[in-house]
Structure 1
Amino acid sequence: MDARIEAFPDIVIEQLVNVLDARDILALSQTCKSLHSIFTSQEVWKSKTIHEFGNLFHVYTIFTTATGLELAPDLAQKFSHEPSDWRAYYLKKNASAQQSDDDALMDQADKEYREAQSYLKTFQNDGSVTVLNQVASKMLWILDVFPGHAGCYYILGFILFVLNQLEDAMILLQMARAVDPDFDLVDDLEGEIERILHGYNGDEHGPSLLENDSLSKDLAEVLVAIFKKFDKDNDGALRPEELDSFIFATNGSHPPAPFLRQMGQRFGCNSKGWLTRDGFLVGLHLT
């Protein structure tokens, strides 16, 4: 049996890196050429960074592409692009964590978290998407300092749930469970989402809404009828005002202007950038 580190499977190398101190990894990388190649690779340091600090780059991408929310500008500077040098990023991030006043920062984080919960209640009352922008931004700020704060992942998942981004919401809830398996609120929301997703496939009490991963004929006909109801000028596309009316009627909130533009660009638009009927059907199918 070959017991050299170089012969270990990638999954074992990854686990080893996750438990070692950065100084030990750097020391190992200097022992020979083969270990230098392993322990200075971008993949190794990316894995260690995500293991210790979470993947906020992925979280940021989910929120800006799936929801159209306008997060705080400083978050774009931090998380819109992954680092070109993961080792340098990790070392800087780790040094910052070591120098921080954890008690004071945790007190501030808990305060922001409690305020976020109150803000969400405000959203449920008036449907202001601005509230969701603020809350999502606050949760990312907290996670940037305390990546083990399961409550922040839960709130982010709840926002995605409210916006009907169910599969993306499940990703955030899985992140919450990874950092704190005992965070009970995750179970309830996951169960609700699973019941909704299960309903798409039908059961003994009702027909399937999907057929071969496409909209069923019956569902497509209903959605076309809904589209026509909101397409007031019958031009085959929902201009921003019409699309806003549809979203407000179904979700109880007015989306931000960038979200309205992105719907057409993402799912299908006419020459004016307005969401077409086919784009409308594709968008509802994917979400």
Structure 2
Amino acid sequence: MKFVKLIFVSTLLCSLPFSHLTARTNPSQPAKTVLITGAFDGIGKATAQAFAQKGWQVWATDQSINNTTFKAYPNVHVLKLDVTDEFDIQQAVDSILAEQPNIDVLINNAGYGLIGAQEAVSKEEIQHQFEVNVYGPIMLTQAVLPSMRENKQGHIINVSSTSGMRAIPGLGTYAASKFAMEAISEALASEVSHWNIKVSVIEPGTVYTNWANHSVLTEKSVVKDYDKLANNLQRYLTKRLIEGQPPEEVAELITKVVDDPNPHFRYQTSHHAREIASVKWRDVTGDTQIKQQKIFVEELYS
């Protein structure tokens, strides 16, 4: 059985008109600091560049870094960070705070998606999915919060997905990780509001990224009945990503969300994402969504 690990970089075309979002334009304001995970490709890279162009001090982190990626931006600082390593996380935050008075914005962007039917995914695959997509963002958030509380301000952006609203067949484990982050974010938003710390969740659809270079095929020898589903879902997602939103457009929106003095908790990425949200919240029984997914799975098997 083939499974695919996909690096999902999420789209962020918010559900409200851009006029709701006001950019910070006062040049006399001191440069602020943003920490971005998964910052060397796709949305993460474009977002780091967008913040750099606005004069922010940007800490661009990733598991693998290239010192030439942001060579044109002297205010971008690259830092190796494995979000599954608690020591690595604390060391990264400490090194930033040694140079900056505080971390104004944390963008938890790093993550990947595991493709595979629930009957066939292994315990180890599930565990690693949660280590990257859930435990990592939690640990990093815990590491930056003391500084934010001390400064009585901050903004945490957790990049979720439309899979945080629904679980399509073959992406159940990935969706479970995003559902978890939505729940954690919802609790966190009220827990830290006393210190003027904001929390926003981004529910992206697809974005045009170099998906092929980030996919890893792993061979599974069990439950071969799901082979066709997994392989066809892989092809479907590849096509959707190619047709996705440009990451530069997404990055521009993220900066506007951060600049908004009264940001919303939840943002959908596009008209399609808002349709998914509409179905989710309109039909409390969940039947409409399940019917749609049954049709989709039959198409994958056809």
Greater fraction of residues in helix: 1
Greater fraction of residues in strand: 2
Which structure has more RCO (C-alpha within 8 Å, separation ≥ 6)? Answer: 2
Q: Please identify the structure whose Cα radius of gyration is greater.
A: 1
TM above 0.5, one fold? no
Q: What range describes the TM-score normalised by the shorter chain of this pair?
A: under 0.3
Normalising by structure 2, we get a TM-score of 0.25
